[in-house]
Amino acid sequence: MRLEFSENGYAVSTEGVSIELLPKEYALLRFLSRNQGQAFSREQLLDRVWPREYPVERTVDDHIYRLRKKLAPLDGVEIRTVRGFGYVLTIGGGGGDPGKPSAQDGELQEQMREIFVKYHRYGQGKSMLALARQQDVLGFELDPFYAVYTRFVQGDVQWLLDGGGLRPPERLYWLLLFFLFAGKPEESLAYCERALASGRLPESQHREVELLNILDLYAASGRPEAALERLRHTRERIARDPGFKSFETPAAVSELYARLYMETDDERLQALEARIERLLAEQPFLREIGSFQIVSGLRRLRAGDRKAGEARIDEGLGVLDISGFVPIKLLGLFRIVQLCRQMPVPGAAAAVRRYEGQFAEESARCGLPGLLSRIGRELEAGLQG
C-alpha cells in the first residue's frame, strides 16, 4: 500500500480513494510519508515543515488533528501519537502481519540483503529500486543501509535534506556527493578537503571520498597533477587491502579523465583505455562501463573526432540510464561539461551546449537547482558541528 501525492495541487490518494488537503497539511503528510515508521517530535516537525517560520508547538497538534480526520477514509493510514515524544505515520497497519510470516524469517531477510548487495555491485540500480518497491508484497524488511542507498540511487535529494532519520555524519556524506557535481568544481573540492580534514565522515565513507570521489574534482579544478598524486595513494591502498579491489576500475577511469586535461599523448591514453577494458572484462559492472565509455568518448573528442566521440559518450549515457543510478549519470554529464569547456578542439563549444542542456534537465529532475544553496548551508552546518 502506497500513498500517491499529486504534483499539481494538494491531493493524496491510495487504492482509488483521494482526499484534498491544505498546503501545510499536504507538506506535513508528505514529510511523514517519506519517513514512514519514524517518530518525530513536535520541534522536529516544526523545523522540517515550517522552516524559517515561527509557529508554536500547538500548530503541529492542530494540523495532526485535521489530518487524522481527513485520512479516516484511507484504510490502514494512521498518524500515531508516541507518548511523551511526538508522532509517527504508519501505513498498512503496525506490528507483524500474519499474512506475511516471511517478514519474521531472519534467514530470508539476510538472503534479500545479499540480493541487494549483488545488484549494488553490478550497478543495477533499477533492479534495486524495483525490489525495494515490492518489499510489502514480498514480505521482507529493507536493510537500513539500502533504505538510504535506494534514495540516493534515484536522486531523492529532498529526502536527504529533510533528514530521513540519518545521523549527521551520514547525512553530510550523501549531501556532499550531490554537491560534488552540482556546484562549481573549486567549491566542491574545498568542501571535500574540509570534510576529510574534519574527520566528521563515517570511516568507510571517508575512505571513499579520499580515494575516489575527490579525484575528478582536482582535474576539473585545473589541478590534474594533484589528481594523479592522489591516485598513487589510492593504488597503494588497493594493493595493501583486497577489500578495495572494487576501487581499481573507477580509479583507472579517473586517471584517464585527469590525463585528458594534460599534455598526455593519445597513444598513452589508448594504452590506459586498453587496461580499463581488461578490468571491465573481469568486473562488467554497469556504472563503471557507462562511466568509462563517457571518458573514452571525451578522449576521441580531444583527438578531434567529434562524431566518434559523441557516439561513444551517448553510448555511455545510455548505459547509465539502464543502470538507473541518477547520481552517476549526473557525474558523467559533469565530466563532459567540465572538460569540454576547457578543451581547445573543434566542436567543443557545440558539445558543451548539447550536454549542458542534458545536465540541466537531469539536475532539474532531482530538484538540485532550487536546493543547491540549502545543501551548501547544510554542509557548512555539518562541517562546523
In this model, does residue 77 exceed pLDDT 90? no
pLDDT at 385: 67
Please say if the pLDDT value at position 72 is more than 90.
no
CATH number, domain 4-91: 1.10.10.10
- In the predicted structure, residue 307 carries a pLDDT above the cut 70: yes
| Dihedral pair phi/psi, residue 47, rounded to 5° | -70, -35
Confidence class for position 48, pLDDT limits 50, 70, 90: confident
At residue 84, the pLDDT reads 62
CB 93 within 8 Å of CB 76: yes
3-state secondary structure 145-206: HHHHHHHHHCCCHHHHHCCCCCCHHHHHHHHHHHHHCCCCHHHHHHHHHHHHHHCCCCHHHH
Mean pLDDT, residues 341-359 taken together: 84
CA distances, 201 to each of 83, 167, 214 (Å): 33, 11, 14
Query: Where do the CATH 1.25.40 domains begin and end in the chain?
Result: 155-369
pLDDT at 195 over 50: yes
- What is the C-alpha separation between 157 and 152, in angstroms, rounded? 7
The chain-wide mean pLDDT, for the chain, equals 88
Sequence-distant (6+) residues with CB within 8 A of 364 are none
**Confidence grade of residue 96 (pLDDT, cut at 50, 70, 90):** very low
Q: Average the pLDDT over 46-65 and give the result.
A: 78
Confidence of residue 7 (pLDDT cuts 50, 70, 90): confident
Instruction: Specify the CATH number for 155-369; select among 1.25.40, 2.60.220, 1.20.120, 2.60.40.
Output: 1.25.40
Most confident of 181-185, 317-321, 381-385: 317-321
Q: Is the pLDDT of residue 152 over 60?
A: yes
Region 8-34: mean pLDDT is 87
| pLDDT, greater one: 143 or 173 | 173
Question: 121 vs 118, 150, 245, 247, 295, CA distance in Å?
Answer: 5, 13, 12, 11, 21
Bridge partner list, 82: 86
Task: Please report the pLDDT score of residue 53 as a whole number.
Answer: 66
Q: What is the pLDDT of residue 103?
A: 65
Is residue 80 pLDDT above 80, yes or no?
yes
DSSP 8-state class, residue 243: G
What is the number of helices (H) and of strands (E) in the chain? Answer: 20, 6
Q: Taking 80 as the threshold, does the pLDDT of residue 105 lie above it? A: no
- State the pLDDT confidence band at 263, using cuts at 50, 70 and 90: confident
In the predicted model, what is the mean pLDDT of residues 163-175? 81
Radius of gyration of the chain (CA): 23
The pLDDT of residue 295 is above 60: yes
Quick one: pLDDT band at residue 95, thresholds 50, 70, 90? very low
Across the range 130-158, mean pLDDT stands at: 86
Predicted pLDDT of residue 204 = 86
Over range 267-280, report the average pLDDT.
96
What are the C-alpha distances in Å from 381 to residues 155, 191, 195? 22, 12, 12
Three-state DSSP class for 341?
A: helix
Query: Are 332 and 317 within 8 A, CB to CB?
Result: yes
Question: Which regions of the chain carry the CATH code 1.10.10.10?
Answer: 4-91
CA 335, 340, 342, 343: dihedral to nearest 10 degrees? 120
What does DSSP assign to residue 73? T
